Structure formats: structure tokens, C-alpha cells
Structure 1
């Protein structure tokens, strides 16, 4: 029995039908809408396919796969998913915006991927109706953060407007998304590679306690919100018990020269002494006892030498955290408020 001649679309329908039988999780939604519609229409017009024809279609499909050397996405969004990590942020954003404006990408996917601070900035400058659509399309976590940032009065207005968002057509929704994407592209982008708050915190990490306290007192008087952000970004020797997992203590100790570590462990002051004791308590007993012996044998140190020891430990922890070898424990609400 000879195989029945089928069109290319009919062959595609046969392959999809077979894949659906084998794997019910086949994501046809990843296809564009026109392709999905054509596939459904083609399958709706087909009935029985004999085994010979089925096997011939499968063989042809497998032969085509074997002949493939490389596969390119065929669209800009897919291409940028591959190249995104190798392009500058500006180039990546501009190309994705151009794709959305040309109708070749979903603007809402790009909006949902924006940092939360940009989304909040958009929400604060757009009309209530537009913000209602924005919150309706965002992932719940980002929608919640954005809604909270709006404040009670504006939040009530947006919540009321969201009750009417269900009547918006797909064309209007896409147009609003495109406009928001253009607005997001127009927002100023910092030329710095890290937030200013984090940068100030990192600088203060390696200053003396006296300088750090004086700077923070001044920031408290001039800009309380900025000062609070800087305090959260700071990590000092005294923060070790609340931010370092006890299981990571051996890694920290191995990263610091023993003579330098001893200088930090003999630090006076309640908070610094507690940090030193935390490190010792989470080391193997033999190692901890050896360090305690070295501490007892240590002569009198100048405050500057102790400060240098604590700074070296903090620097080692920062390096381990940056390389991914350890993770900071998230501070609890009491610690953040302190």
C-alpha cells in the first residue's frame, strides 16, 4: 500500500498529533497566533491517516532533523535570548523595544522583565487607567510591590480602575504596552554599574568605625531614607553573627591569614567580641582551641591593628559572597531596623 500524498501543513499536523500523544505538555502556545490558528484549521479538516502514510511522514521528518546543522530562532526576541548576555544593556533594550514597536514581540513580556524600580517609576507617572492595566498584566509579586509604592489614596483609585480592565480589547492592550515600553526606554539610566546606596555602603565597610559612624550620623540628618538604605548595605565585623550561616564559618576562616584573623578575634567591644566568639564557636573544636591559645599568646595590639584585622575578615567574606561560595543570611526585621 502506497503512502497518501499530504501537503506540508498536513504533515506538520500529523507530527504534532503524534507528539501530543507522546507528550501532553507540548507548548503550542509558543507558536505565533497565526501558526496556531493554521495548525488547528488543518487538523480540523483531517480524519484518518493510515500507518504507511504516518510512518512515511515520520521518516521524512526524522531525515529533515538529521540534516539540520544549526537552528536560528527566526525572530528578534529569540535571537536576543541567545545574545542578550553578550550585548550591552542599552543595545538589548533598544532592540527589544524595536521588536515590540514592529509588532514582532509582546511588549508586556518586556515590561514584566523590567526592574521593580523602573516599573514603580512608570506607575507614578502614568494615568490611573494605564496603571490599572499595568498591574493587571504584571506578575503578582511585582504588581504587589508596585501597588504598595503608590500609597493608599492612589492605590484606591487604581483598584477601582482595575475593575473595568477586563473589558479592554487585545489591540488596545498591546498599544498600551507599547506606549509603556517607550516610556520605560525614556527613563534615565544610571551610568554606574551598581546602585549608589550599595556603593556608599561598600565604601563605608572598609573605613574605621569612627568615620563610618560620623558619616551615617550626617546622612541621618540630611537624608533619612538614603541613610537607611546605606545602613542595610553595610556589612561590618559586628554583623557576622546575623548574616553568616554557621556552616560557612570554616570557609571564612580559611580565607584569612591566621595572624590577621587573631587580630580580629581579640577585638574589644560587646558586638565585635560576640562576632569573634561566633566564629570560634562554629569551628571544629581542635581548630577553635588552637586559635584561643594564639589569642592568649597575642601581645597587646594597637586599635589600628585590630581594625585592620576586622577589615580583612570582612573583605574575605565579601569576596566569598561575590564569588557565590557563601550567601548572606537575610537579616530579620529587627536587624534591619537596628
Structure 2
């Protein structure tokens, strides 16, 4: 028998979408997704690509089922093979690395990239705090402020309007009636200017304000040092001194600012010898009411044991008592920072020392 005839493979089927370029395929995919009810965020694309896509879709008329199936299959295959995507441009990279690079580097890159890094600037404006927007609304012309309020959610716009001085609010309200002819380009320019203004805030080397920093330092100082510093602040700047007094929390503030239910948690945070010295020193001096407040709001058995130990300990040196009381305050601050307790606001700290 002769050799079997050689196998002849059938020619590969030519793809129905082979004649399409990438722009046409992109238009088909977008049209298909829109028909399926998918929200396609085309605004994330650069403006030139948005324009090309729109023009391409406008020039196309009909695509048969075979071509559509091939384009969708090719698109799905590309998605499956995609391992990693990177953010588009410096703006996207800054967003992805937010909090992971130094503020100084981020600020320099923002300036080098220009204001267009914000993408849609109104996203930043809409999420800005009222305290950041109010000075802008008061400083800008009524026409610009009217555009800003028109772009915000109704509730936020009403809130901002209510915080503005009456004459300013009335001028802006009237200007809103004149915004019908404002072009999208003008709105975009206003948004970019506002986004740049909101971002143009000097970076600070400190995460807390001066009042909080001074208050924290004086909290950890001895009572003698604290009193001397406060006297100096009163002579230099009474307004600043008043704010610092409100930031200071010392042993004498415990009855006014600590809830009775939080006392047992605080007592567990302090070693018993330290607590005995603190209470002994407080009972022997001007802070007896604070010591009694602590003893009255813990378990009765533990309070009795502490009272006995205080009696046996006798007189405690003022320096040791002061150190022990500061350790109690530090324990309270740690619990507050961990959100295990909450300090109550005090209406008037004018007499605090």
C-alpha cells in the first residue's frame, strides 16, 4: 500500500475584525459597554483621546455580530493578559503615593506638573472644608462665588451661604441668576484656579498647633515650672495664655473632666505605689478634692485598702508626690489617645494652674 496522502491543514479563519484599527475597536467596545448599561468613566481620559473617540463613534454606522464578537473576544484576551497598570501621569502617581512620599517631594512635583494634575478640579473643591472655602467666597467676585455655589451640592451651598455676611450672601445669590451664560471653559478655569488656591497651603513641620504643643509640655512639667511659665505667658500674651490654660490638664482637673465610670480604668493603668504617693500628696495639700474623687469612684474594697496604705506611708515628699501625680496624668493622656476614655469639656479653665 502506498503512503497515506499528506494532511493539508485548512487555512486559518481570517478574523472578522482584522480590517479595523485600534480606534475603531475602542469605539465598538465603548458603544457595546454603554448599550449594556455600564458606566464608562471617559472623563478620566485625556481630552484629546475623548475627542478622538467621539469623532470615531460619530463616523461609524453598523457592525455585524461576527465583528462585534471578535472585537469583544480580543478585548477580553487583552484584559486577561494584563498584569499591572500604572496611574496616568504625575497626578495619578501622586494620588497613588499619597502619604508614602515626603510632603516636600509631593509639593515640588505638584508645582512642576502644573495645575492640571488635579484632573477634575471641582472634585477637590466639592470636598473642601467650609473653613477653607469661606475666605475664598468672601475674597472672590460675586460672579465667581456664584459659580462655586452652583457647582456644589445644594446642602453644602446653603450651609456656606448661611455662614457668609448678609451683604456678601445677597450679592452672590443675585449673581447666581446671571450664571446661565457661563461657558464650560470658564467654569473649568475657575475650578482650576480654586484647586490651585486650596492646594497653596504652606507645609508645616508640626502636626499640632502651638497651643497644643505648649500645653503638652507644661502638662509634663512640675507644678512650679508650670506656674512660672504661665505667669510669663500672661505677661507676654494674655490671649495665648488663656488658650494654653484650656489645653492644660493637671491633677486638679480630674473631678471636672473625668467621668466617674472611667476612674477604675485609670487606676488599673497606674502602678499602686505610684497611685499611693499621688493620692497621699494630694490629700495633704490643696488637691484633696481630686484625691477624694478618685477614691470615691473606685471599688469600695480597693479604696479602703488604698486609704490604709496612704496612712501607713505617712508624709510623702512634695517632689515625689508631684512626680507621681504627673504619672497619673500621663496614664490618662495615654488612655485618651487610645480612645479608651474621653475627657469632658470644661466651661471655664480660667482658674487652672
| 2:256–2:344 CA contact under 8 A, matched in 1 | yes
Moved more, 76-85 or 163-172: 163-172
Show the counterpart of 1:87: 101
CA contact (8 A) 1:97 1:182 kept: no
Cα distance, 1:169 vs structure 2: 3.4
Q: Is the 8 A contact 2:115 2:192 kept in 1?
A: yes
User: For the residues of structure 1 that align with 2:242 and 2:150, how far apart are their CA atoms?
Assistant: 32
Deviations 1:185-211 (A, max 9, x none): 665544434311111111121224455
**For 1:265-311, what per-residue CA distance to the aligned partner results, in whole angstroms no more than 9, with x for missing partners?**
45343662365247x44xxx4xx633540342122323433322221
The 1:214–1:28 alpha-carbon spacing in structure 2 relative to 1, beyond 3 Å, is same
Whether 1:307 aligns to 2:351 is: no
Question: Residue 31 of structure 1: which of 41, 44, 47 is its match?
Answer: 44
Q: Which runs of 5+ in 2 are unaligned?
A: 1-12
Contact 2:258 2:343 in 1 (8 A): no
Query: What is the rounded CA distance, in whole Å, between the counterparts of 1:103 and 1:81 in structure 2?
Result: 10
Match of residue 91 from structure 2: 77
Question: Which position in structure 1 is the counterpart of 2:30?
Answer: 13
Task: Identify, as 1 or 2, the structure richer in helix.
Answer: 1
Instruction: Show CA shifts across 1:14-56 (max 9, x none).
Output: 56247636xxxx4627634846674698499677874x66655
Count of paired positions: 319
> Paired residue for 1:204, among 197, 210, 218?
218
Q: 1:130 to 1:14 in 2, by over 3 A?
A: closer
Q: Establish whether residue 326 from structure 1 lines up as the match of residue 339 from structure 2.
A: yes
Taking the aligned partners of 1:273 and 1:66, their CA distance within structure 2 comes to: 69
Which moved further from structure 2: 133-142 or 255-264?
133-142
CA distance in 2, matches of 1:205, 1:143: 42
1-structure distance, mates of 2:259, 2:42: 43
The aligned residue for residue 273 of structure 1 is 291
How far did residue 67 of structure 1 move? 1.5
**Residue-by-residue CA offset, 1:198-250 (whole Å, 9 max, x unaligned):** 11111121224455456446645654543443234333344456666777666
1:84-119 deviation digits (Å, cap 9, x = unpaired): 212222332343355453476234444566677665
| 1:180–1:47 distance in 2 versus 1, CA, 3 Å | same
Q: Residue 274 and residue 63 in structure 1: after superposition, are their counterparts in 2 closer, same or farther (change >3 A)?
A: farther
Which residue matches 2:168?
Answer: 157
Distance 1:187 1:164 in 2: 28
**Pairs within 5 Å for 1:102-251:** 102=116, 105-110=119-124, 130=144, 144=159, 148=163, 152=165, 156-165=167-176, 166-167=179-180, 168-183=182-197, 188-209=202-223, 211-212=225-226, 215-216=229-230, 219=233, 223-240=237-254
Q: CA deviation at 1:8?
A: 2.0
Distance 1:177 1:133 in 2: 9
1:157-203 deviation digits (Å, cap 9, x = unpaired) = 24422431444433333333444455556655444343111111111
- CA gap of 1:186–1:18, structure 2 versus 1, over 3 A, is closer
Distance 1:275 1:141 in 2: 45
Which protein has the larger Cα radius of gyration, Structure 1 or Structure 2? 2
Q: In structure 2, which of residues 283, 286, 301 is the aligned counterpart of residue 289 of structure 1?
A: 301
Whole-Å separation in 2 of the counterparts to 1:242 and 1:200 = 22
Distance 2:250 2:158 in 1: 34
TM-score (norm 1): 0.69
